[in-house]
Amino acid sequence: MKKTVGKSKGNSFEREVGRILSLWWTEDARDDIFYRSHSSGGRFTVRKKSGKDTAFQGGDINFSDPIGKPLIENWNIECKTGYARRTKNNLINWDVLNLIDSQQNEPILIKMWNQCKKDAELTNRESILIFRRNRKKPCIMFSVKYMNYLFGIFGMHKTHAVIIVTPTESCVIFNIKDFFEWIPNIRLAMKIGLNTSRYSI
Protein backbone atom coordinates (compact mmCIF):
# COMPACT_ATOMS: atom_id res chain seq x y z
CA MET A 1 0.00 0.00 0.00
CA LYS A 2 2.81 2.42 0.85
CA LYS A 3 4.38 1.89 -2.58
CA THR A 4 1.06 2.70 -4.27
CA VAL A 5 0.66 5.90 -2.26
CA GLY A 6 4.25 6.94 -3.01
CA LYS A 7 3.84 6.25 -6.72
CA SER A 8 0.58 8.21 -6.84
CA LYS A 9 2.25 11.13 -5.10
CA GLY A 10 5.12 11.05 -7.59
CA ASN A 11 2.72 10.94 -10.55
CA SER A 12 0.83 13.92 -9.16
CA PHE A 13 4.05 15.91 -8.79
CA GLU A 14 5.09 15.06 -12.35
CA ARG A 15 1.76 16.39 -13.60
CA GLU A 16 2.25 19.53 -11.52
CA VAL A 17 5.73 20.02 -12.96
CA GLY A 18 4.34 19.58 -16.46
CA ARG A 19 1.81 22.31 -15.77
CA ILE A 20 4.24 24.86 -14.32
CA LEU A 21 6.75 24.21 -17.10
CA SER A 22 3.96 24.72 -19.64
CA LEU A 23 2.98 28.07 -18.12
CA TRP A 24 6.63 29.17 -18.07
CA TRP A 25 7.23 28.03 -21.66
CA THR A 26 4.13 29.85 -22.99
CA GLU A 27 4.33 32.91 -20.72
CA ASP A 28 1.15 31.84 -18.88
CA ALA A 29 -0.83 31.25 -22.08
CA ARG A 30 -1.20 27.45 -21.73
CA ASP A 31 -0.75 24.78 -19.07
CA ASP A 32 -0.88 21.67 -21.29
CA ILE A 33 2.37 21.68 -23.29
CA PHE A 34 4.27 19.20 -21.10
CA TYR A 35 3.10 16.05 -19.32
CA ARG A 36 4.58 13.03 -17.57
CA SER A 37 6.37 10.47 -19.75
CA HIS A 38 5.09 6.93 -20.28
CA SER A 39 5.69 5.07 -17.01
CA SER A 40 7.71 8.10 -15.86
CA GLY A 41 10.49 7.23 -18.27
CA GLY A 42 10.43 3.55 -17.31
CA ARG A 43 9.65 2.43 -20.86
CA PHE A 44 12.76 4.24 -22.09
CA THR A 45 14.93 2.51 -19.45
CA VAL A 46 13.62 -0.95 -20.27
CA ARG A 47 14.07 -0.51 -24.02
CA LYS A 48 17.52 1.03 -23.57
CA LYS A 49 18.71 -2.10 -21.74
CA SER A 50 17.87 -4.13 -24.84
CA GLY A 51 19.64 -1.67 -27.12
CA LYS A 52 16.50 0.10 -28.35
CA ASP A 53 15.84 3.82 -28.30
CA THR A 54 12.47 5.39 -27.51
CA ALA A 55 12.18 8.94 -28.81
CA PHE A 56 11.75 11.61 -26.11
CA GLN A 57 10.84 9.09 -23.40
CA GLY A 58 13.93 9.49 -21.21
CA GLY A 59 13.21 11.39 -18.02
CA ASP A 60 9.89 12.04 -16.30
CA ILE A 61 8.53 14.85 -18.49
CA ASN A 62 7.65 14.83 -22.18
CA PHE A 63 5.86 17.25 -24.51
CA SER A 64 2.19 16.75 -25.38
CA ASP A 65 2.24 19.59 -27.92
CA PRO A 66 5.01 19.91 -30.56
CA ILE A 67 5.73 23.49 -29.51
CA GLY A 68 7.35 22.03 -26.38
CA LYS A 69 9.69 19.75 -28.31
CA PRO A 70 12.77 22.06 -28.09
CA LEU A 71 12.81 21.88 -24.28
CA ILE A 72 12.55 18.10 -24.17
CA GLU A 73 15.17 17.74 -26.90
CA ASN A 74 17.61 19.59 -24.65
CA TRP A 75 16.57 18.86 -21.06
CA ASN A 76 16.34 15.46 -19.36
CA ILE A 77 13.93 16.27 -16.53
CA GLU A 78 13.65 14.07 -13.45
CA CYS A 79 10.98 14.81 -10.84
CA LYS A 80 11.29 13.75 -7.22
CA THR A 81 9.12 14.46 -4.22
CA GLY A 82 8.76 13.23 -0.66
CA TYR A 83 11.46 11.09 1.00
CA ALA A 84 10.71 12.60 4.41
CA ARG A 85 11.17 10.52 7.55
CA ARG A 86 8.18 10.23 9.85
CA THR A 87 8.56 10.10 13.62
CA LYS A 88 5.85 9.81 16.23
CA ASN A 89 5.29 13.56 16.42
CA ASN A 90 7.06 15.05 13.40
CA LEU A 91 7.72 14.86 9.70
CA ILE A 92 11.47 15.31 9.19
CA ASN A 93 12.58 16.41 5.74
CA TRP A 94 15.93 15.45 4.26
CA ASP A 95 18.29 18.39 3.92
CA VAL A 96 21.15 19.59 1.71
CA LEU A 97 23.33 19.32 4.82
CA ASN A 98 22.77 15.56 4.69
CA LEU A 99 25.59 15.60 2.15
CA ILE A 100 27.93 16.56 4.99
CA ASP A 101 26.61 15.01 8.17
CA SER A 102 24.33 12.14 7.10
CA GLN A 103 25.20 8.57 8.05
CA GLN A 104 23.85 7.38 4.70
CA ASN A 105 26.41 6.14 2.19
CA GLU A 106 24.49 7.95 -0.53
CA PRO A 107 22.37 10.88 0.72
CA ILE A 108 18.94 11.30 -0.88
CA LEU A 109 19.84 14.36 -2.96
CA ILE A 110 22.94 12.72 -4.45
CA LYS A 111 20.98 9.55 -5.21
CA MET A 112 18.36 11.59 -7.06
CA TRP A 113 20.97 13.60 -8.93
CA ASN A 114 22.96 10.53 -9.97
CA GLN A 115 19.84 8.97 -11.48
CA CYS A 116 19.05 12.18 -13.32
CA LYS A 117 22.59 12.49 -14.64
CA LYS A 118 22.75 8.85 -15.76
CA ASP A 119 19.56 9.15 -17.81
CA ALA A 120 20.66 12.49 -19.26
CA GLU A 121 23.95 11.01 -20.44
CA LEU A 122 22.09 8.20 -22.20
CA THR A 123 20.08 10.76 -24.18
CA ASN A 124 22.84 13.39 -24.56
CA ARG A 125 20.76 16.06 -22.83
CA GLU A 126 21.18 18.46 -19.92
CA SER A 127 20.56 16.99 -16.44
CA ILE A 128 17.66 18.83 -14.82
CA LEU A 129 16.35 17.68 -11.43
CA ILE A 130 13.11 19.19 -10.16
CA PHE A 131 12.26 18.19 -6.61
CA ARG A 132 10.00 19.15 -3.76
CA ARG A 133 10.48 18.19 -0.14
CA ASN A 134 7.35 17.51 1.90
CA ARG A 135 5.36 20.69 2.49
CA LYS A 136 8.01 22.80 0.77
CA LYS A 137 8.23 24.64 -2.55
CA PRO A 138 9.55 23.03 -5.77
CA CYS A 139 13.23 23.52 -6.58
CA ILE A 140 15.35 22.99 -9.68
CA MET A 141 18.89 21.62 -9.69
CA PHE A 142 21.48 21.52 -12.49
CA SER A 143 25.22 21.75 -12.99
CA VAL A 144 27.21 24.88 -12.16
CA LYS A 145 28.73 24.55 -15.61
CA TYR A 146 25.27 25.02 -17.11
CA MET A 147 24.55 27.89 -14.70
CA ASN A 148 27.69 29.68 -15.91
CA TYR A 149 26.52 29.15 -19.47
CA LEU A 150 23.21 30.81 -18.59
CA PHE A 151 25.08 33.68 -16.90
CA GLY A 152 26.64 34.50 -20.26
CA ILE A 153 23.19 34.89 -21.84
CA PHE A 154 20.93 36.22 -19.09
CA GLY A 155 23.39 37.84 -16.68
CA MET A 156 23.76 37.17 -12.96
CA HIS A 157 20.69 36.00 -11.10
CA LYS A 158 19.40 38.21 -8.29
CA THR A 159 17.92 35.53 -6.06
CA HIS A 160 19.13 33.05 -3.48
CA ALA A 161 20.74 29.84 -4.68
CA VAL A 162 22.67 26.98 -3.08
CA ILE A 163 25.83 25.61 -4.68
CA ILE A 164 26.83 22.03 -3.89
CA VAL A 165 30.34 20.76 -4.47
CA THR A 166 30.62 16.99 -4.90
CA PRO A 167 33.70 14.86 -5.67
CA THR A 168 32.69 14.73 -9.34
CA GLU A 169 31.03 18.09 -10.10
CA SER A 170 29.36 21.18 -8.70
CA CYS A 171 25.63 21.79 -8.87
CA VAL A 172 23.27 24.64 -8.03
CA ILE A 173 19.75 24.66 -6.59
CA PHE A 174 17.15 27.40 -7.13
CA ASN A 175 13.58 27.80 -6.00
CA ILE A 176 11.91 27.07 -9.35
CA LYS A 177 9.91 30.32 -9.33
CA ASP A 178 13.14 32.28 -8.83
CA PHE A 179 14.69 30.37 -11.72
CA PHE A 180 11.75 31.23 -13.97
CA GLU A 181 12.09 34.92 -13.10
CA TRP A 182 15.81 34.80 -13.91
CA ILE A 183 15.29 32.87 -17.15
CA PRO A 184 12.08 34.17 -18.75
CA ASN A 185 12.90 32.77 -22.19
CA ILE A 186 15.10 29.66 -22.26
CA ARG A 187 14.81 29.58 -26.06
CA LEU A 188 17.64 32.10 -26.24
CA ALA A 189 19.99 29.52 -24.75
CA MET A 190 18.68 26.80 -27.01
CA LYS A 191 19.67 28.70 -30.14
CA ILE A 192 23.26 27.78 -29.26
CA GLY A 193 22.49 24.33 -27.90
CA LEU A 194 22.43 22.97 -24.37
CA ASN A 195 24.83 20.06 -24.75
CA THR A 196 27.60 20.73 -22.21
CA SER A 197 30.23 19.71 -24.75
CA ARG A 198 29.35 22.87 -26.65
CA TYR A 199 29.83 25.22 -23.74
CA SER A 200 32.62 27.73 -23.84
CA ILE A 201 33.18 28.87 -20.27
Per-domain residue ranges of the chain = 2-198
* Model pLDDT, residue 85: 84
CA–CA distance, 10 with 15 (Å, rounded to integer): 9
pTM (2 d.p.): 0.84
CA–CA distance, 186 with 95 (Å, rounded to integer): 29
**Per-residue model confidence as pLDDT tens digits over 55-104:** 555 799 999 999 999 999 999 999 999 998 888 888 889 999 999 998 88
Give the Cα-Cα-Cα angle 116, 74, 182 (nearest 5 degrees).
90
Three-state SS at 141: strand
Spell out, as residue ranges, where the chain has pLDDT lower than 50: 1-5, 40-45, 47-50, 52, 54, 194-198, 200-201
Contact by Cβ (8 Å): 57, 37:
yes
CA–CA distance, 108 with 92 (Å, rounded to integer): 13
